[in-house]
Amino acid sequence: MTDRPVAGNQPAISEVDPESLTAWLAARGEPAYRAAQVLAGAHRPTATSLDDLTDLPRPLRGAVADAFRFSSIVGSHALVADGGLTAKAVHELADGQRIESVLMRYPARGKGIGRTTICISSQAGCAVGCPFCATGQAGFGRQLTAGEIVDQVLHWHRDPWLALGADWRPGGVRSHYNIVFMGMGEPLNNVDRVFHAVRLLNDPARLGIGARHITVSTSGVVPGIDRMIDELPQVNLAISLHAASDELRDELVPINRKWPIAEVVAAGQRFAARTRRRVSLEYVLIDGMNDAPAQAAGLAALASGWLCHVNLIPLNPTPGSRWSGTDAVGVRRFAATIEQAGVPVTVRDTRGREIEAACGQLHAQLAGRPIGTAVPMVPA
């Protein structure tokens, strides 16, 4: 499959590099500084079209709008749940590929400040092939461009119903605003474009999201983890482990056959030692599969003695799957084993079950159906 989108009549402004845009502007007699204005404006969360770039002369705005699309996303279908705190969208790209992103809001408690997390995709589909994941079952489409990655974040700022853009203010939401690469795809199998997207998201002239509020998740691509140490040391790392023995992980996370658990954990330890950033070990709990006491003890041993924490995630089952999530009693029992070993452990809040919020589920539900722009309400 190609790793580039099929070109339409207009390229998306988010996918145009500064050099090419500068040359395009120069051919029209415009100064070079206009390129920075156009790109910064196109990444402005409150902008809803290229016509909103009011620091450009009106004739130039018209020329830019004639030559470029405002977003690489050509249509979206979103569902809302949890009383408006959770929303999931399937986005259609110019070549017909579909990807997913999720918005999760967490209200303030007491005198604290609420926070917002956006989960985004790095590939159309995924080649890792984890059998419990709807994305893995769908197969691999292609790599996403950096622009297609960033446009998922901008979608949630610009959605008129959710109006996330209205919350965007310096010193406010930015301090409690997180981006996680935990949607469709394996980010470190698209490492160059993902790293470029992280730098765009972090750019203070654009969205300005702090590097420490961005998390890249991987199923265990060891060379990519080592590149993160050198190139993105302030960005958080999450490793999707899902098993404590190689025999079981070979089945649940097939990439383990290339980089087994010992190599993946060693890479995580290198990251923690070099960056002094705590690594998150993600563990989806599947009833009767990876939630036995021996797996809990093995995970506790793997996580002991270095800067990490364990994040337990009860499986959100996919339609037709033979597996289901561990029940609440089993989750508490598994977590207790980790805690007794002195390892920090959290249990992820399960959100959006009624809108197929697990990775790849809504995409599968809408397969073959046209994508609109409406945001249907789903009862919480």
Helix residue ranges per DSSP H, the chain: 18-26, 33-42, 58-67, 134-138, 146-158, 191-202, 222-231, 246-252, 261-275, 293-303, 328-340, 361-365
Query: Would you mind telling me the total number of residues written for the chain in this entry?
Result: 380
State the Cα–Cα distance between residues 185 and 135, nearest whole angstrom.
Answer: 7
The amino acid occupying position 249 is: R
Evaluate whether 277 touches 271 at the Cβ level (below 8 Å): yes
State the Cα–Cα distance between residues 251 and 322, nearest whole angstrom.
Answer: 14
Give residue 247's region: left, alpha or beta (phi > 0; psi -120 to 50): alpha
Evaluate whether 140 touches 188 at the Cβ level (below 8 Å): no
Structure tokens at 354: 């009624």
Q: What positions carry a catalytic annotation?
A: 100, 359
Evaluate whether 221 touches 195 at the Cβ level (below 8 Å): no
Give the distance from CA 319 to its chain's centroid: 22
**Cα end-to-end distance, the chain, whole Å:** 39
> In DSSP terms, which residues pair with 142 in a beta bridge?
124
31-34 long-range Cβ contacts below 8 angstroms, 24+ apart: 34/60
Evaluate whether 62 touches 38 at the Cβ level (below 8 Å): no
Structure tokens at 125: 């589909």
